[in-house]
Structure 1
Amino acid sequence: MSVKKYQGHAGGWGALKSTASHLIKSKNIAKNIKNLLKTNQEHGFDCPGCAWGEKDEPGRFRFCENGAKAVNWEATSLRVGADFFARHTVSALRKQTGYFLESQGRLAEPLVYDRASDRYRAITWQDAFELIAKQLNRLENPNQAEFYTSGRASNEAAFLYQLFVRKFGTNNFPDCSNMCHEASGIALKQAIGIGKGTVKIDDFEHADAIFVFGQNPGTNHPRMLDSLSHAARRGASIVTFNTLKERGLERFADPQSAKDMLTGSATKITQQYFTPNLGGDMACVRGMVKVLLARHQQAVKENSAVFDLDFIEQHTQGLDTYLAKVDATSWQQIEQQSGLSKAQISQAASLYQQAKKVIVTWAMGITQHKHSVATIEEITNLQLLFGQIGKKGAGLCPVRGHSNVQGDRTMGINEKPSAEFLDALAHTFSFEPPRAHGHNTVEAIEAMLAGKSQVFIALGGNFVSATPDTHITKQALSRCKLTVNIATKLNMSHLYPGEQSLILPCLGRTDIDMQASKAQFVTVEDSFSMVHKSQGVVDSNTDNMRSEPAIIAGMAQATLGKSPVDWLALSSNYNLIREYIAKTLPEFSNMNERVNQRGGFYLGNSAANYQWHTTTEKANFSRHDLPQDIVPASIRALSDNRIFVMQTLRSHDQYNTTVYGYEDRYRGISGERDIILMNAQDIKDLGFFAQQRVDVTSLWPDKVERKIVGFKLVPYDIPQGNVAAYFPEANPLVALTNKGDLSDTPASKSIAVVISAQQQAQRII
């Protein structure tokens, strides 16, 4: 392991060098250079990585370093089939890392688990579909099946999937949204009537200030740095609240800027960088409002105003009750919980007040806490006070993860579908869909663990590695009658089969998708509600792989016959799927025509148009108390040792559960993933030293021991009392019931832990 403070800037030559190394590693250099030139282009494919949108600027490369990693990782020439499992048992593969599993190459043929030999063997597609149909149709109740979805699935695949599942008779749709931005959707729906961000990408060119909460775009969505650097260069104030100091939000060199590359110069991104305690962001915003309220009250005495009173009067309700909450919140509580001083919070408030147009953007550093919904509603309150919704250069911007996670929800991948969506589905397809709410991710794990759910089908993703309480999730899957994983690569979820198990290899975003002798395209929706085409360009050995729509159609036809549609006909021509989408969802009218427009089409946003689809028909001020404590007294009582708050995060060589390598360049760490980032003074106070191996135990009021062992301490610029570790290695510490209020999102950024000297040499596998 190497730890060396990174002195450079984000992007620049380091990003180009990393891109080149991953091109070489793919063993498919010439093709992948061509592929990268088609990434996010008009006649190419949508990056399989993040959901950040694209400006319509011809002649520019439209991939970032981590997007290049994703493309190279997917477009490898290596293949995994039955011959691989002839050499490896499932039990032996469990001892390998996720990096090893995925680096073996693309899944090449459908596989079925043979328990006697502990290996997967080949199976025909038709036999696989019949096995699925047999298990589904023998269930006593459709609600005994769970249908998981990764956010990488296209609109066409997601719509077909939800139609199949609802015709089968359940709303059990645990999906990746449950684990990331569920709180954003719930909070925004309650506050402004729509669970999506209100801004377009062009708004970043007009904002006077951009407030960035709880995210690390340099690693997780690097293309966002292009938007932020342009805003910074024209003079916009960028204010960051993030517990860790992250290089991407400090300074950035644009790899497409000749000046930056030739001179070694970089753009300073953040004007003010605040590092609050984990879970302290709500207190930060409450403090800003408290400062601004005092200024407003003084201004009113002078026949003026700080708040946008016309906007508040015309478009909102609940102001007085909310401001009473602000008045009642003490500075002592705000400072203690946020970890920032009143002076620092006042400085942030001044920067906000000075701007006429403000965008507030956030990611999973905000959404993975117990009080995440309340925090996002607090952010929304701040924007409502100043009318910062519905005008150019202003608004709310949750930054989604996977490139179509927002589109999946639009298509109906939702365990709690709206009555309007179900009514439209019933009208279009002439059947009555189930109305009862289904299971989210946490509820699905609990149902499988209890034996109440017996079939698990995953459309993409790596369920074991993505979910909390890793060992419990493994047990839950193993108790199923059937597990089915539709995937491009081997991952840890495939190694915990039910009584019967299938791995079904699907095409990726980069692959040419031939159906009925014609290349098909799919569509995706980015974080800005833009819907655009994605068409694979890679012509390689995909003979025994199938597209996601074709796999879904095969399962549906075997299970339901031709009801309520001819599934195989739809999968042979995706235009037919899009026609049904257009009939069901009014915002997708004339979809086949509109998607062929350059750049696609905008779905619109009701709140941005001052249409408030809430119960009050106004934008609602929320009125939450601050949490009493990020670590409740009942948790603190479980240990006499010093308690830290831990968050899980990604390394730079990682996207979600996929690890591309062992280089966390911007944090200066390489060669190791079992690490704990910790304040140097905290390390000293515990009597420990840098790179000492420690054990970490999480605290939760049940009888389950949650522990990771043999992790190295790495001194880092993080507030005292806070620590961080990589995901998914630290997921065993996240209790299944440690989840967000209203959202049920795992509280992976608020884990109470104690840290002790290593007691055993053997690490948990």
Structure 2
Amino acid sequence: DWETIETQSGLRSSQIQEVADIYLQAKSVICCWAMGLTQHTHGVATIQFVVNLLLMRGNIGRPGAGACPVRGHSNVQGNRTVGINHHLPPAFGEKMEKLYDFKAPTTHGYDVVEAIKAMNDGRVRVFMALGGNLVPASPDTELTAAALEKTELAIHVATKLNRTHLVHGKQALILPCLGRTEIDQQVAGPQVVTVEDSMGDVHASEGRNAPAGEQLLSETAIVANIAAATLPPGKPDWRGFVADYATIRDHIEKVLPIFKDYNARIAEPGGFSLKNTARDREWITGTGKANFTVAAIPDLTLPPGRLRLMTIRSHDQYNTTIYGNDDRYRGIKGQRTVILLNVADIANREMAASDAVTITSFGPDGRERQVTGFTIVPYDIPEGCAAAYFPEANPLVAIDSVAAGSNTPVSKLIEIEISRG
């Protein structure tokens, strides 16, 4: 039903056919995606359909082909691989219990959205961040700030100051730390950390620059020293972890077999690749084969006069760090509080380029959220769609507007209206 497909996708059938022809003629295909897919209500299903597309022509498990989620930070994937997970896998917990003689928690922790809600409800008393800029980076900016202000203690381990450091509850600590580019000198000598990239490749990373200050500690030292000062004596040897990070990797290897010979392998040029079952065509499924996924087409019809807004980033920006107000990607100079609109949507509202507008969003909780003082910029964007910069437009994202199956904030499908002023 092309009419339904065109209405729901915002694309013409000819455009879809053109892309399909390119795909059919390609010998090998890699599909890449980032937050443009994940930050949707139906982001999980969308990515499952990307995998379906790859499987249809055997583009998984052979050279030059596959699925490639693009991540912005060097170790986002690596954190999850070594067990930083608010849903503790039972097998991981059992190995930790045997190794360190303690009882692992059986209840789940919080993701970012649930953590914000828990702080707002008074269920979290202490917030500790290893880097990050929670308030502007998160959805529902005002609610997130109010939630953080309800804590009894906020601790920030950081290499530089940011806006979140200005928002806290009864007490707050800022603990400066070494950056990854700085020399990390410990008892055993200069230390290396390891990084896993989006391709599942792990390599060593060693700082080369002199530390910014003599009293700076590494993140590892700060966390281990807090643990040593707080917990009763016993396992593990926190001070030993700080003295030589290779000891930490030895312990990771004991819990996670995929890191066998960890320290030896990172000493090799370029490091090593972690096992990837899909790449090796080992299907960990009930059938022992690759499985296709099905899902119903969602109804994305909007009430008259409303648009779908997505948050975007400029060229002069890295996450919440804004280096300048220009965006050479899109030809925008000297301003960030802008809303990019299709010329037809501008004309239909009897508005014009450079008009000042208020943007109102409509969340699942029934509340209306607003940002003011935004300027219209005509742009080549599908009719019915709009775009504004992150984090300036984050106040429009409702805390309860999340992707089904992942709980990722929906920053690419915000229902809005615009009005003059």
TM-score > 0.5 by shorter chain: yes
1:592 and 2:263 are equivalent in the alignment: yes
Q: 2:373 is matched with which residue: 705, 710, 713?
A: 710
| Bigger helix fraction | 1
Residue 201 of structure 2: aligned partner: 530
Q: 1:409 is matched with which residue: 55, 80, 99?
A: 80
1:518 and 2:181 are equivalent in the alignment: no
Question: Residues 255-312 of structure 1: CA distance to partner in whole angstroms, max 9, x if unpaired?
Answer: xxxxxxxxxxxxxxxxxxxxxxxxxxxxxxxxxxxxxxxxxxxxxxxxxxxxxxxxxx
Number of residue pairs aligned between Structure 1 and Structure 2: 421
1:653 and 2:316 are equivalent in the alignment: yes
Q: How does 1:549-560 map to 2 (within 5 A)?
A: 549-560=220-231
Check the 8 A contact 1:630/1:750 in 2, yes or no: no
Residue 374 of structure 1: aligned partner: 45
The structure-2 alpha-carbon separation of the partners of 1:422 and 1:749, relative to structure 1 and needing over 3 Å to count, comes to same
1:756 and 2:410 are equivalent in the alignment: no
The letter for the 1-side match of 2:326 is E
1:429 Cα deviation from its structure 2 partner: 2.3
> Distance between the aligned counterparts of 1:514 and 1:630, measured in 2?
58
Identity of aligned residues (%): 50
The letter for the 2-side match of 1:745 is T
> Distance between the aligned counterparts of 2:261 and 2:314, measured in 1?
42
> Distance between the aligned counterparts of 2:172 and 2:198, measured in 1?
35
1:572 and 2:252 are equivalent in the alignment: no
Question: Residues 572-616 of structure 1: CA distance to partner in whole angstroms, max 9, x if unpaired?
Answer: 211111111111111111111110100000002011111122344
Q: 2:345 is matched with which residue: 669, 675, 682?
A: 682
> Distance between the aligned counterparts of 1:701 and 1:350, measured in 2?
39
Question: Residues 429-461 of structure 1: CA distance to partner in whole angstroms, max 9, x if unpaired?
Answer: 232311222211111111110111111111110
Q: How does 1:149-228 map to 2 (within 5 A)?
A: none
Residue 603 of structure 1: aligned partner: 274
1:408 Cα deviation from its structure 2 partner: 0.5
Check the 8 A contact 1:449/1:477 in 2, yes or no: yes
Paired residue secondary structure (1:698):
strand
Paired residue secondary structure (1:414):
coil
1:545 Cα deviation from its structure 2 partner: 1.8
Moved more, 355-364 or 548-557: 355-364
1:745 Cα deviation from its structure 2 partner: 0.4
The letter for the 2-side match of 1:705 is E
The structure-2 alpha-carbon separation of the partners of 1:618 and 1:683, relative to structure 1 and needing over 3 Å to count, comes to same
The letter for the 2-side match of 1:755 is I
> Distance between the aligned counterparts of 1:614 and 1:564, measured in 2?
37
Provide the aligned C-alpha RMSD in A.
1.5
Q: How does 1:255-654 map to 2 (within 5 A)?
A: 330-516=1-187, 518-629=189-300, 631=302, 636=303, 642-654=305-317
Paired residue secondary structure (1:723):
strand
Check the 8 A contact 2:202/2:274 in 1, yes or no: yes
Moved more, 355-364 or 646-655: 355-364
1:331 Cα deviation from its structure 2 partner: 1.9
Moved more, 513-522 or 391-400: 513-522
* Alignment gaps of 5+ in structure 1: 1-329, 759-765
Residue 669 of structure 1: aligned partner: 332
Check the 8 A contact 1:734/1:748 in 2, yes or no: yes
1:552 Cα deviation from its structure 2 partner: 0.5
Check the 8 A contact 1:675/1:713 in 2, yes or no: yes
1:427 Cα deviation from its structure 2 partner: 3.0
1:617 Cα deviation from its structure 2 partner: 3.1
* Alignment gaps of 5+ in structure 2: none
The structure-2 alpha-carbon separation of the partners of 1:386 and 1:549, relative to structure 1 and needing over 3 Å to count, comes to same
> Distance between the aligned counterparts of 2:181 and 2:220, measured in 1?
15
> Distance between the aligned counterparts of 1:507 and 1:562, measured in 2?
27
1:335 Cα deviation from its structure 2 partner: 1.2
1:517 Cα deviation from its structure 2 partner: 6.7
> Distance between the aligned counterparts of 2:407 and 2:55, measured in 1?
26
Paired residue secondary structure (2:53):
helix
> Distance between the aligned counterparts of 1:614 and 1:559, measured in 2?
43
The structure-2 alpha-carbon separation of the partners of 1:443 and 1:621, relative to structure 1 and needing over 3 Å to count, comes to same
Residue 217 of structure 1: aligned partner: none
Check the 8 A contact 2:139/2:399 in 1, yes or no: yes
The letter for the 2-side match of 1:666 is Y
1:494 Cα deviation from its structure 2 partner: 0.9
> Distance between the aligned counterparts of 1:629 and 1:367, measured in 2?
17
1:540 Cα deviation from its structure 2 partner: 4.2
* The structure with more radius of gyration: 1
Check the 8 A contact 1:365/1:749 in 2, yes or no: yes
Residue 35 of structure 1: aligned partner: none
> Distance between the aligned counterparts of 1:666 and 1:351, measured in 2?
25
Question: Residues 450-477 of structure 1: CA distance to partner in whole angstroms, max 9, x if unpaired?
Answer: 1111111111100111110000000100
Check the 8 A contact 2:327/2:333 in 1, yes or no: yes
1:630 Cα deviation from its structure 2 partner: 5.8
Paired residue secondary structure (1:619):
coil
> Distance between the aligned counterparts of 2:94 and 2:146, measured in 1?
37
Structure of higher RCO (CA pairs closer than 8 Å, 6+ residues apart): 1
The letter for the 2-side match of 1:719 is P
Residue 177 of structure 1: aligned partner: none
Q: 1:744 is matched with which residue: 379, 404, 407?
A: 407
Check the 8 A contact 2:133/2:163 in 1, yes or no: yes
1:703 Cα deviation from its structure 2 partner: 5.1
Q: How does 1:100-119 map to 2 (within 5 A)?
A: none
Question: Residues 694-721 of structure 1: CA distance to partner in whole angstroms, max 9, x if unpaired?
Answer: 1101012435331100011111111111
Paired residue secondary structure (2:388):
strand
Q: 1:735 is matched with which residue: 391, 398, 404?
A: 398
Check the 8 A contact 1:734/1:751 in 2, yes or no: yes
Paired residue secondary structure (2:386):
strand
The letter for the 1-side match of 2:373 is G
> Distance between the aligned counterparts of 1:339 and 1:703, measured in 2?
26
The structure-2 alpha-carbon separation of the partners of 1:501 and 1:436, relative to structure 1 and needing over 3 Å to count, comes to same
> Distance between the aligned counterparts of 1:432 and 1:517, measured in 2?
31
The letter for the 2-side match of 1:713 is I
> Distance between the aligned counterparts of 1:376 and 1:355, measured in 2?
20
Paired residue secondary structure (1:471):
helix
> Distance between the aligned counterparts of 1:507 and 1:403, measured in 2?
16
Paired residue secondary structure (2:83):
coil
Paired residue secondary structure (1:511):
coil
The structure-2 alpha-carbon separation of the partners of 1:663 and 1:383, relative to structure 1 and needing over 3 Å to count, comes to same
Check the 8 A contact 1:415/1:440 in 2, yes or no: yes
Check the 8 A contact 2:187/2:243 in 1, yes or no: yes
The letter for the 2-side match of 1:715 is P
The structure-2 alpha-carbon separation of the partners of 1:563 and 1:684, relative to structure 1 and needing over 3 Å to count, comes to farther
Check the 8 A contact 2:365/2:400 in 1, yes or no: no
Paired residue secondary structure (2:214):
coil
Paired residue secondary structure (1:667):
coil
> Distance between the aligned counterparts of 2:368 and 2:247, measured in 1?
51
Paired residue secondary structure (2:368):
coil
